Amino acid sequence: MRADRLIAVLLLLQRRGTVTAGQVAGELEISPRTARRDLEALALAGVPVYSTAGKGGGWSLVGGARTDLTGLTEGEARALFLGTGVGDTPAARAGLRKLLAALPAQWRADAERAADAVLVDAASWGAEPQPEPPSLAVLLRAVVDGEQVELDYRSRGTASTRTVDPLGLVNKDGRWYLLAGTPAGERTFRLDRVVAASPTGAPARRPEGFDLRRAWAARRGEFEQQRHVERTRVLVEPAALPRLRWLLAHRLVEVGEPGADGRVPAVVLGPVAEVVALELAGFGDRVEFTDPAARAQLARLAAELHSRYGSGPGAG
C-alpha cells in the first residue's frame, strides 16, 4: 500500500541522506517510475525533500539529510495523510498508526481526520483511470474541516446545483467518488462529473458513528448489483468456494447450505448467463451451472476445445 511505501521512503532518506529513484526502487522492490512518483508525492505533500540533477545527485532531506517524523510541521503532517489514501488492509492501517504515533499530540487529531477522509479501493471494475479531478483538493479540505460544499454537478447531461455534507472520498480503480449527505440521504458523486465545488462556510452534518469503509462497502454492493443485473444459479464444490469468493466478491450472493451431495448453491450476478459461464469455465466441474443458456454456452465451448485439443499435440 502506498502509505507504507511513503513512510518507508521517508525513513530511507533519513537513514541514507541522499538516494536515487533507482536505489529506492531496489530497496522497496518497486519500479523506478513508482519510486519517482512516491518521492514527488512526499515533496508535493510538503515534506522537506528536494532533488538534484547530475552525477552524484538524487533526492535528499533539507537540513543535513537527517530528520524524524516529529520534524514534520502541522501542515506537512495533514498533507501527507491526505496524500496517502490507503487501501482497506491491516498492513496499511498499521503503517498509518505508526506514523500517527510519531506525530506531536496537538496535530494527531487533525491527521487522524485526514487519514479517515480518503479510501482507496484497489479492486478493479475495468474502467480506465481518470486524471485527478480539479475539485479533489477542495473536497478533501471540506471533508477534513467538516464544511458543507455547494456542488455544480452534471450527470447524464443534466446539470444541477446542490449543497451537500461531504463525508469521505474514495478512489476506486482510478476514479474518485465523494460520499456525502443530502436532504434525500447519503449519496455518491463521481468527481469527474463535478463542474465546480465551493465551500459554504457552514458546518457539515456528519452522522453519528459514520465509517467510510462500511459506507463504501454498502454503496459498492449496490453498484455491483446495478452493473450485473442477471442472476445465474450455480452449484459449487466447497473447495472452490474461497477462490470463487475472491474472484467475484460482491457478485457472489445467496450462498446457501451444502446439499446432499456436498455442493453449495449460490447465485452469480452478471450481465448475461452466457458471459458468466465463460468467465467461470476455468473452474471445470467444480462449478455447475443450472441455467440452460449457460450450460449450452459451456457445451459449445467444450466442443470447440475438444476439436482443437482433444486429439493431442498438433490436433486440428
As for how many domains the chain has, the answer is 3
Whether residues 203 and 236 share a domain: the answer is: no
Q: What is the pLDDT of residue 168?
A: 87
Q: Is residue 170 part of a domain?
A: yes
Q: Is residue 131 part of a domain?
A: no
What pLDDT digit, counting tens, does each position of 233-289 carry?
A: 899 999 999 999 888 877 788 888 988 999 999 988 877 777 888 888 889 899 999
Q: Is residue 126 part of a domain?
A: no
Whether residues 202 and 242 share a domain: the answer is: no
Nearest alpha-carbon partner for 92 in 2, 214, 171: 2
Across residues 295-314, what is the average pLDDT? 81
Contacts of the segment 139-144: beta carbons below 8 A, 24+ positions apart: 139/166, 139/169, 139/178, 139/191, 139/194, 139/197, 140/82, 140/169, 141/199, 142/166, 142/197, 142/199, 142/204, 143/117, 143/167, 143/168, 143/169, 144/78, 144/82, 144/110, 144/113, 144/114, 144/117
Whether residues 253 and 286 share a domain: the answer is: yes
Whether residues 113 and 14 share a domain: the answer is: yes
Whether residues 29 and 111 share a domain: the answer is: yes
Put simply, whether the predicted model's pTM sits higher than 0.95 gets the answer no
**In this structure, are residues 273 and 296 in contact, taking their beta carbons and an 8 Å threshold?**
no
What pLDDT digit, counting tens, does each position of 67-98 carry?
A: 445 455 545 555 555 544 444 444 445 555 55
Q: What is the pLDDT of residue 17?
A: 74
Q: How far apart are CA 215 and CA 221, in angstroms?
A: 10
Whether residues 14 and 112 share a domain: the answer is: yes
| Chosen domain end from 88, 119, 150 | 119
Whether residues 24 and 113 share a domain: the answer is: yes
CATH number of the domain that 98 lies in? 1.10.10.10
Whether residues 152 and 112 share a domain: the answer is: no
Whether residues 145 and 206 share a domain: the answer is: yes
Domain that holds residue 171: 136-210
